[in-house]
Amino acid sequence: MDLYLFHADRYQQLYNCSYDVNQVPFEDRQHIALGTMFITLAGIMELLYIPCTFAIWKHRENGCYKIMFYIAVTDMMAMLMNGIATGWLAIIGAVFCTHPNLTYILGAYGMSLWGAESTAELILALNRCMEICSPAMADILFSGYRTWLWLMLPSIYGLYWFFFTMPHPFSGIYVSWFFNPHMGYQEDLDKIYYNNVHDFHNYVVVTVIMGTYMAFSILLIMKTYKFKSSTQQSYSQKMTFIQVVLISSINAFAAGIYVYMQYFKISKALIVIGQLSWLFAHGIPSLIYLCLNKTIRKDCLKMTTGVISQITGKSIMQTSTTRMLNTTNVRTIGGGRINMATASRHGGMSRVVPTNSTMNTTPTNNGERQENEGQEKI
Within its chain, how far is the Cα of 298 from the centroid?
A: 17
| Closest by Cα among 192, 165, 193, 197 to 179 | 193
With CA atoms as reference, report the closest residue to 86 among 168, 24, 177, 158.
177
Q: What is the model's pLDDT at position 148?
A: 95
Q: How many CB atoms lie within 10 A of CB 348?
A: 15
Q: What is the pLDDT of residue 323?
A: 53
Measured at the CA of 334, the angle between CA 328 and CA 337, to 5 degrees, comes to: 25
Cα angle 211, 214, 217 (rounded to 5 degrees) comes to 150
The per-residue pLDDT for 247 is: 75
Q: What is the pLDDT of residue 262?
A: 73
pTM of the model: 0.76
- CB neighbourhood size of 39 (10 A): 18
CB 150 within 8 A of CB 123: yes
User: How far is CA 116 from each of CA 70, 201, 279, rounded to the nearest angstrom?
Assistant: 9, 11, 15
- Alpha-carbon span 206 to 208, nearest angstrom: 6
Please provide the DSSP assignment of 21-33 as one string. GGGS-HHHH--HH
Tell me, what amino acid is at 140? I
What separation, in Å, do the N-terminal and C-terminal C-alpha atoms of the chain show?
A: 70
- DSSP readout, 97-118? TTSHHHHHHHHHHHHHHHHHHH
Q: Specify the pLDDT at position 41.
A: 97
Domains annotated on the chain, with CATH: 2-15+22-292 (1.20.1070.10)
Q: CB–CB of 87/176 below 8 Å?
A: no
Distance from C-alpha of 238 to C-alpha of 235, rounded to nearest angstrom? 5
Residues in contact with 28: Cβ distance below 8 Å, sequence separation at least 6, in sequence order: 173
CA 110 to chain centre: 15
**Could you say which residues of the chain have pLDDT below 70?**
224-238, 240-241, 314-378
C-beta contacts of 207-210 below 8 A and 24+ residues apart = 208/122, 209/121, 209/122, 209/125, 209/248, 209/251, 209/252, 210/248, 210/249, 210/252
Q: What is the pLDDT of residues 62-111, one digit of tens each?
A: 898 999 999 999 999 999 999 999 999 999 999 999 999 999 999 999 99
Cα-based angle 187, 190, 195 (whole degrees, multiple of 5): 90
Q: Is the dihedral of CA 139, 140, 143, 147 positive or negative?
A: negative
